[in-house]
Structure 1
Amino acid sequence: MKIKGIVTAMVTPLQADNCGIDEQKTRQLVEHLITNGVAGLFVLGTNGEFYALSTEEKIALAKIVVEQAAGRVPVFAGAGGISTQAVSDLANEFAKVGVDAISIITPFLIKISDRELINHYQEISEKTQLPIILYNIPSNTGINISEAAFKELVKNPKIIGIKDSSGDVENIKMYIENSRQRADFSVLVGSDSKILTALNLGADGAVAATSNVLTKTDVAIYDLYQSGDLARAQVLQTSIDEFRRVLKFATVPAVLKYSCGLIGYPVGKTKLPVLPVKEKYVAEIKEVLTTYGTIEGFEVQ
C-alpha cells in the first residue's frame, strides 16, 4: 500500500455528555472529508484524543469510520501506547473491523533505547496482520526515531510508512533519503505548516489536522504541487497560517473541534482534562474562519 496525498487527522465526534462516540456526526464528518477530496482518514491520533478514549470507544470509532468510508479511501487507526502487548491487542481489534493500517506512536512517559524501540515495533509487526505506519512526534513523547533506528525499521516490509510530526525539515529529509529503496514506503509530514516543504523534498503527502476544516485548501496544496503550480500552492500553504495561529488559543484539539461546529459539522467537546475554548477567543476564531469561506464553501455559524 502506497499512501499519497492529504490524509485527514480526524477529530473524534463525541456525544453531548462526552460518553461515547456520536455515530451520526462521525458519519457526517467522514462524508464531508471524502466528498472534498482527502486521500485517507487517520483516526485516533493526537487530534483524535486517543489518549483520553477507552478501548471500547476506539474500536467503535474505527468501525463507524470504516463502514462510512466503504472502501473509497483507506482508514488508518492509531493503536499506539506504552505497552507492546496492549498495542498489539488493540491492533488486532482494529483488524477485525477492517482498518487498512495502524499508526503506532513511539512509547511515551518512559525513555527507551533504540534497541528497545526497534524491538517494540518488530514485536508488534509479528503479532498483527495489519501494515504499520510509524508515528514520530518527539515534542509530545520525548523520543525521536533516530536514523539508526529508522534504517533498521524500514527493512521490515510490514512497516509501510512514517508520519513525522517533528517539524524538523532535516528529520523529514533523513526519513525520505533512508527509505528510497522501498517503493511502497510513504513518508508523510504531520506538521501542517510544512506540507509544501515536505512535498518539495520528496514526501508522499501529509497527515493534516487542519484538513478537518480547511479541507479544500489542504487538498489543493497537494494537487497544485502535483500539477507543477508551485506558486499557487505556496499561496495556499501560507494561507493556513492564520488558522494555525488561532488553533493555539486552547489546548489541542479544543479550537479545532470548536471550528468544526462553526462550519456546520459539530463534533462535540473535548475529553477532559482539555477544556473548551474560552469565550474571549470566539469572535477572533469566527473572523479568521470567515476568510476561508470562499474557497471552502462554508458559512461560519
Structure 2
Amino acid sequence: MKNEDLKGLISALLVPYNEDGTVNEAGLRQIIRHNIENMKIDGLYVGGSSGENFMLDTDTKKQIFDIAKDEVKDEVLLIAQVGGTNLYEAIELGQYATELGYNAISAVTPFYYKFSFEEVKQYYFDLVDKVDNRLIVYSIPALTGVEIGVSQFMELFENDKIIGVKFTAADFFLLERLRKAAPDHLIYSGFDEMLLPAVINNVDGAIGSTYNVNGLRSRKIMELAQEGNIKEALSIQNDTNDLIEAILDNGLYPTLKQLLKLQGCDKGSFLARKPMASATQKQINRSKEIYDAYLKDVK
C-alpha cells in the first residue's frame, strides 16, 4: 500500500467494556461494522485515546488489535496506535500489529516525564528500527504536554519510515507551516470540531472519535471543502459542532457509547474501563435527547 492509500476519514475506534473491565467482543464487532457500513469510513485507528487504551494491559491491547483485524479483514485501512511511556511495549505491540497485517502503526509522544525532544526522537527511531512498518506520529500536546515544532517534525520525517502525523492541536499557524514544509508527508486532522479549517489547510485526512457516530456529516464537510464549497461546508460544521458541544457537555466517551447504542450497536455491555466512569442515568437520558436532536434524521 502506498502512502496515498492511507488518506481519508478514519474513526478512532471506541471500545465497549464489561463490568469486570474485559472487552465486550460482540459489541466491539458491532461498532466496527457500524463504522464501515453506516458511517462509510475509510479506516479505523485502533488503540487510541477513544479506545481507553492507556488504561489497558498489553494482552488486552493485543486482543483489540486481533478483533479489529478479524472483523475488518481488508475492507478498510487499519492503523494501530501502539505508543505510550513504555518503549518496549510499543515495540512489542508494533511488531504484533504488523504481523496481523495493519497498514501502519502510530505512536503517541511519550508523556508524564518531561522528555527532551532528543529523547522523543530516539523513541520514534528505536520503534521504527524494530518494527517493519510505517509510522504516524500522534501529537496531542494538550494531553501529553509535548510540543513539537516544524523543524523538529522535519527531523522526525528524515526517517523514511515516519510518514506523517496525527495533528491534534488547535495551532493552525503550526499546521499551515508544517503543511508547507512537508508536502509529501501525511497530516491528519485530530480535532473533529476543527475539521473544516484543517481541510482548508490541505490535510490528507482526519482521525476522530465522533466519526463513530457522525461520519456521514464529517464526510460531507471534507468533500465540500475540497470542492471549494466553503459556505455549505461551514453550515454542516456548525451543525456538527452543536452535536460535539452537546456530547462534551454530557461526557465524551459515555455519551458516544450511548449514541452508538441508539444507532443500533446493542450487543452486551457498553461500559467504560475503570477508573473512567460509565454513563449515569442522567447521561443516558440526555444522550437520547442528543440523538433525537442531532443524529436521528442524518443520512
1:175 to 157, 174, 178: 178
| 2:290 paired residue number | 288
Instruction: For residue 292 of structure 1, give the secondary structure of its aligned residue in structure 2.
Output: helix
Q: Residues 70-89 of structure 1: matches in 2 within 5 Å?
A: 70-89=73-92
User: 2:261 corresponds to which residue?
Assistant: 261
Q: Is the 8 A contact 2:10 2:42 kept in 1?
A: yes
Q: Is the helix fraction higher in 1 or 2?
A: 2
Q: Secondary structure at the match of 1:248?
A: helix
How many angstroms apart in 1 are the aligned matches of 2:57 and 2:221?
35
TM-score, normalised to structure 2, is: 0.92
CA deviation string 1:139-185 (max 9, x = no partner): 111101222320101121111110011122122223212211x2xx2
Q: Residue 93 of structure 2: SS of its match in structure 1?
A: helix
Instruction: Supply the distance in 1 between the matched residues of 2:276 and 2:156 (Cα, whole angstroms).
Output: 34
Correspondence 1:219 to 2:222:
no
Task: Quote the sequence identity (%).
Answer: 27
Larger mean Cα displacement after TM superposition, 38-47 or 255-264: 255-264
CA contact (8 A) 1:215 1:296 kept: no
Measured in 1, the distance between the counterparts of 2:231 and 2:162 equals 34
Q: Is the 8 A contact 1:195 1:205 kept in 2?
A: no
* Structure 1: gaps spanning 5 or more residues: none
**Conserved? CA contact 1:105–1:134, under 8 Å:** yes
Q: How far off its partner does 1:251 sit?
A: 5.1
Alpha-carbon contact 2:139-2:165 (below 8 Å) kept:
yes
Q: Secondary structure at the match of 1:77?
A: strand
User: Which ranges in structure 2 are unaligned for 5 or more consecutive residues?
Assistant: none
Q: Which residue of 2 aligns with 1:274?
A: 276
- 1: CA distance between counterparts of 2:232 and 2:297? 13
User: Distance in 2 between the 1:100 and 1:166 partners?
Assistant: 24
RMSD, matched Cα:
1.8
The Cα offsets for residues 228-282 of structure 1, whole Å up to 9 and x where unpaired, read as: 3322221111111122123323554222222212222146111111112333344
TM-fit CA distance, 1:71:
1.0
Superposed, 1:181-260 pairs within 5 Å as 182=184, 185-249=185-249, 252-260=252-260
CA-CA distance at 1:91 after TM superposition: 0.7
1:48-63 matched pairs, under 5 angstroms: 48-63=51-66
Moved beyond 6 Å, runs of 4+:
none
Which letter maps to 1:214?
N
Of residues 129, 138, 142, the one that matches 2:141 is: 138
- Equivalents in 2 of 1:21, 1:116: separation in Å? 33
Amino acid at match of 1:256: L
Quick check: 1:41–1:73 contact (8 Å CA) kept in 2?
A: yes
